[in-house]
Amino acid sequence: MPGIVELVEAGCVLEGRESGNRPGAVRASEAPSGGNGSRSADDSAERERPQPTSPPSRRLPPTSVLHETIVRVRLVSLGDLILDVVVSLEQALVPGDDQAALTRVGAGGQAANVAAWAASLGAEARFVGKRGADAAGELAARELASRGVELAGPVSGRCGVVVSIASSGERSMASDRGSATELAPDELDPRWFDCDVLHLSGYALLRDPAASAAERAVELAGAAGARISVDLSSWSLIDDAYRARVRSCGPEIAFATERERETFGRLDANWIVKRGAAGVVVSGVEHQAHQAEVVDSTGAGDAFAAGFLVGGLEVGLAAAARCCAKLGAMP
């Protein structure tokens, strides 16, 4: 049986299509909260669904680098779009004390990060999720759209916020997911999932109704012939209910840290184990990380997942190195 790297790269080439052949979607330039923000918070999920029109030719964002192994791969990521606050410290925080910091505020969320990195590498990327109708939600959606990502899903409630504390190349996070957890199965449009690969953020599988929406997305993408991948996201959130939901999705590819892999247990999937500076393990084979001067490791795993899914192992490792060399999780 071919290795997973070969399978991924073969799929990228065989399934590549022109963007004009895709069913209509909420394009980046048309996303309500990514444009002038004129829609109200009371707009229904139905109004957020794509119109059956032929989209114009897709323009890559200015930072895009089309890798030779990427032939119009169509990636959909489902999960959270939040406001990401990254705080970079020269020294660790001390309770009750003050430290100088460099901060960055922008779009984030595991699924949004993967979509942004996929788009930056030349793939066609769509984000699906419930996003906030407030000012923070508009800011996050506008930034993600500007990176060449199509946005689909209802707009209501408040935007989630994640604060990441980065120090000495490591990071800790405090997460508020906002309305992202409220995505329901009946708010999904089957046309959003006509793709080559559907990538699920593990956070989307934590609780209903979002978990049921993720499982419905798997059904829709599977019917379109897409491969399914999942990122386990956080070892501390893994319980029996979470394991059951992940297994019901039947992912072909599972991304995890070493601790997430050990905590989760049995899963009939191709494991991609992320080990930070030590690189990754793919199908039991160790691969070294690319050299980089680490500024901030936030989002490096998401960058690797995007690169791996659309272009294979080396593209993933290169994307992770690029991510580590800058502040913030977006490309």
Query: In this predicted model, what pLDDT tens digit does every residue of 9-57 receive, in sequence order?
Result: 434 433 333 333 443 343 333 333 333 333 333 343 333 444 333 333 3
Number of domains forming the structure of the chain: 1
Task: From 235, 254, 246, select the one nearest 308 (Cα to Cα).
Answer: 254
**DSSP character string of 194-240:** -SSEEEEEGGGGSSTTHHHHHHHHHHHHHHTT-EEEEE---GGG--H
Task: From 4, 1, 14, select the one nearest 253 (Cα to Cα).
Answer: 4
Other beta carbons within 10 angstroms of residue 272's beta carbon come to 26
Mean pLDDT across 237-255: 96
* CA 220 – CA 109 distance, rounded (Å): 23
Order of strands across the sheet that contains 170-178: 101-108, 82-89, 159-167, 170-178
Which of 125-129, 195-199, 206-210, 294-298 shows the lowest mean pLDDT across its residues? 294-298
Q: Is the pLDDT assigned to residue 270 strictly greater than 70?
A: yes
Q: Is residue 41 part of a domain?
A: no
Phi-psi region of 173 (alpha: psi -120 to 50; beta: other; left: phi over 0): beta
Q: What is the pLDDT of residue 64?
A: 43
Q: Is residue 148 part of a domain?
A: yes
Q: What is the pLDDT of residue 2?
A: 43
Order of strands across the sheet that contains 150-152: 150-152, 124-128, 74-78, 197-201, 227-231, 253-257, 270-274, 280-282, 285-287
The pTM assigned to this predicted structure is 0.76
Q: Is residue 61 part of a domain?
A: no
Q: Which of 11-20, 123-132, 282-291, 321-330 has the highest mean pLDDT?
A: 123-132
Percentage with pLDDT > 90 across the chain: 57
100-158, pLDDT tens digit by residue? 888 888 899 999 999 999 999 999 999 999 999 999 999 999 999 999 999 999 999 99
Q: What is the pLDDT of residue 166?
A: 73
Q: Is the pLDDT assigned to residue 63 strictly greater than 70?
A: no
Percentage with pLDDT > 70 across the chain: 77
Domain range for 106: 4-36+68-324
Q: What is the mean pLDDT of the chain?
A: 81
Q: Is residue 173 part of a domain?
A: yes
* CA 169 – CA 233 distance, rounded (Å): 19
Structure tokens at 176: 């508020």
CATH of the domain at 195: 3.40.1190.20
Q: Is residue 330 part of a domain?
A: no
User: How far, CA to CA in Å, does 98 sit from each of 155, 164, 168, 288, 296?
Assistant: 37, 17, 17, 37, 20
Q: What is the pLDDT of residue 321?
A: 92
Q: Is residue 48 part of a domain?
A: no
Model confidence band, residue 296 (pLDDT cutoffs 50, 70, 90): confident
Q: Is residue 52 part of a domain?
A: no
* CA 123 – CA 37 distance, rounded (Å): 27
Half-sphere exposure of 138 (CA within 13 A, CB side): 12
150 beta partners: 126
Structure tokens at 192: 């959003």
* CA 107 – CA 174 distance, rounded (Å): 15
Do β-strands 285-287 and 82-89 pair in parallel, antiparallel, or remain unpaired? unpaired
Q: What is the pLDDT of residue 134?
A: 94
Contact 33, 142 (CB under 8 A): yes
Q: Is residue 58 part of a domain?
A: no
